[in-house]
Amino acid sequence: MASDMNDYFNKKKSEDSNFGKKSSGGSGGGNGPQMPKIDFNFGGGKAGIVYFLAAIILLLVLAKPFTIIEEGERGILSTNGKYQDQTLLPGLHFIIPVIQKVYTVDTKVRIINYASKIEASGGDAAGINIKPAITVLDKRGLPVSIELTVQYRLDSKFAAQTISNWGFSWEDKIINPVVRDVVRNVVGKFDAESLPQLRNQIAQEIDKGVRDSVTSLKNSPADLQSVQLREIGLPQKVREQIERVQVAKQEVQKAEQDVQRAKQEALKRAAEAEGMAQKARIEAQGIADAVTIKADAKSKANILISKSLTRQLLELEQMRVQGMFNDALRENKDAKIFLTPGGSTPNIWVDMKNAQQRTTAQ
């Protein structure tokens, strides 16, 4: 090929040279215009090598016999339309043009948001797929809206088998139907009024149901990260009924608190009254004990005195008192003395100068 191209350029050069000579002879003496000389040989045999390399580079650019797999991705090699079981890891890989082709699949964590209000942000490019909230019927047939967030990723070990069985839209055929089916089965067992109180239980049952359904599929096509229950949307009438029940419960709780407060106040007052009564009893007991002690002491004293009295002591005491009366009579002639029967002491002294005593004595 290179020798043919050299012969072509040499022949072309010879024709151009002859053409220049003819033009020079015809103009007389070579004073006329001459054609420029161009060297198409490129140094002899080097031209063939240059053209060969250029052809190779052009073939590489057009055929692209290699591919680059990025991190977070896997490559599925297809040879004559048949997928290779082992996926291609991130890096540079060479393939046979036309015969082989590489399909790149995303193995990063992806998210499906089931939301009542579809937002414009996110999208498949960011690994976020937004879908309408799941509307299900409760136990009595009332519509309930469920909002979820599901995180999952393609299982890189079985990526080729998953694409071969489900196609590149595998998540719309696996994740989405499974989630909706599990949510309907779980929520349909309860009344709408009880859903808010059973939120944690419902979230656990939905998570377990989705995991069991996805992992039971052949070759484990997806690795489920989490299923998060975000919101339970109830009908307006149900929400109003729940609010009324909550208000009634709050009123009952307030009434119970008031009763407890009244009981505590009553117990407090009773305790205070009991304390005052106990104090009064203690004080009365103290006074009674003091009187008793005093009476006992006086009784004991009288007993001792009575035991110490003799006839001679009494006569002596009478004589002493009689002497005191005699001394008083000498000073008060109007006084009267009433002797007690038997001559015992003391006698009664009446001052007749005193009008009140005189009237009483008469």
Q: What average pLDDT does range 144-164 have in this prediction?
A: 90
Q: Which residue has the tokens 């499974």?
A: 178
Question: What residues form DSSP beta bridges with 88?
Answer: 75
Quick one: 317 and 304 in the same domain?
no
Residues 141 and 206 in one domain: yes
User: What is the arithmetic mean of pLDDT over 244-264?
Assistant: 82
Model confidence at 23, in pLDDT bands (50, 70, 90)?
A: very low
Same domain as 70, residue 55: no
CA distances to 47, 106, 271 from 86, rounded to whole Å, are 45, 15, 85
Residue 337 and residue 263 in one domain: no
- The reported pLDDT for the residue numbered 121 is 46
Task: Note whether 294 and 319 are same-domain residues.
Answer: no
Q: Where are the extended beta strands (E) located within the chain?
A: 66-69, 73-79, 82-83, 91-94, 100-106, 110-115, 128-132, 134-137, 143-154, 222-233, 336-338, 348-350
If asked whether residues 140 and 186 sit together in one domain, one would say yes
Q: Domain check: are 98 and 155 in the same one?
A: no
The residue behind tokens 């009908």 is 235
Give how many domains the chain has, as a whole number. Answer: 5
Choose between 204 and 306: higher pLDDT.
204
Among the residue ranges 176-180, 279-283, 341-345, the one predicted with the least confidence is: 341-345
Does 343 score more than 60 pLDDT?
no
Residues 195 and 279 in one domain: no
Q: Are residues 257 and 272 in the same domain?
A: yes
For residue 120, pLDDT over 60 is answered with: no
Mean pLDDT, rounded, for 191-204: 90
Output the DSSP codes for 315-334: HHHHHHHHHHHHHHHHH-TT
Domain boundary among 46, 81, 106: 106
Tell me which of 308, 331, 353 is where a domain ends. 308
Domain assignment of residue 241, yes or no: no
**Inside any domain, residue 180:** yes
Report the range of poorest mean pLDDT among 228-237, 313-322, 340-349: 340-349
* Whether residue 13 is found in the same domain as residue 28: yes
* Least confident stretch, 35-44, 178-187, 342-351: 35-44
Q: For residues 154 and 210, state if they share a domain.
A: yes
pLDDT of 22 > 60? The answer is no
In a domain? residue 240: no
Per-residue pLDDT at 328 exceeds 50: yes
Q: What is the mean pLDDT of residues 307-336?
A: 72
Asked whether residue 252 falls in the same domain as residue 301, the answer is: yes
Find the domain containing 8 and state its range: 2-63
The answer to whether residue 318 is domain-embedded is yes
**pLDDT over 70, % of the chain:** 75
Which range has the worst mean pLDDT, 22-31, 201-210, 237-246?
22-31
What pLDDT does residue 249 have? 80
The answer to whether 92 touches 66, Cβ cutoff 8 Å, is yes
More confident residue, 241 or 340: 241
Per-residue pLDDT, 258? 84
Domain final residue, candidates 54, 87, 106: 106
184 has pLDDT over 90: yes
- Indicate which CATH number applies to the domain containing 166: 3.30.479.30
Helices 46-63 and 2-27 pack at an angle, to 10 degrees, of 120
pLDDT (tens digit per residue) in 53-76: 887 777 766 767 888 888 888 988
**Residue labelled with tokens 């009664």:** 348
Q: In this predicted model, what pLDDT tens digit does every residue of 67-101 receive, in sequence order? A: 888 888 898 888 888 888 888 899 888 888 888 88
Window from 6-10, 135-139, 276-280, 308-312 with minimum mean pLDDT: 6-10
Residue 151 is assigned to a structural domain of this protein: yes
In a domain, 280, yes or no: yes
How much is the average pLDDT of 315-326? 75
Give percent helix, percent strand, percent coil of the chain, each to the nearest 5. Answer: 55, 20, 25
Query: Binning pLDDT at 50, 70 and 90, where does residue 229 land?
Result: very high
Q: Is the model's pLDDT at 5 over the cut of 50? A: no
Cα–Cα distances in angstroms (integers) from residue 207 to residues 124, 204, 226, 271, 276, in the given order: 23, 5, 7, 57, 65
- C-alpha span between 124 and 320 (Å, rounded): 135
Mean pLDDT (the chain) is 77
Is residue 239, in this structure, part of any structural domain at all? no
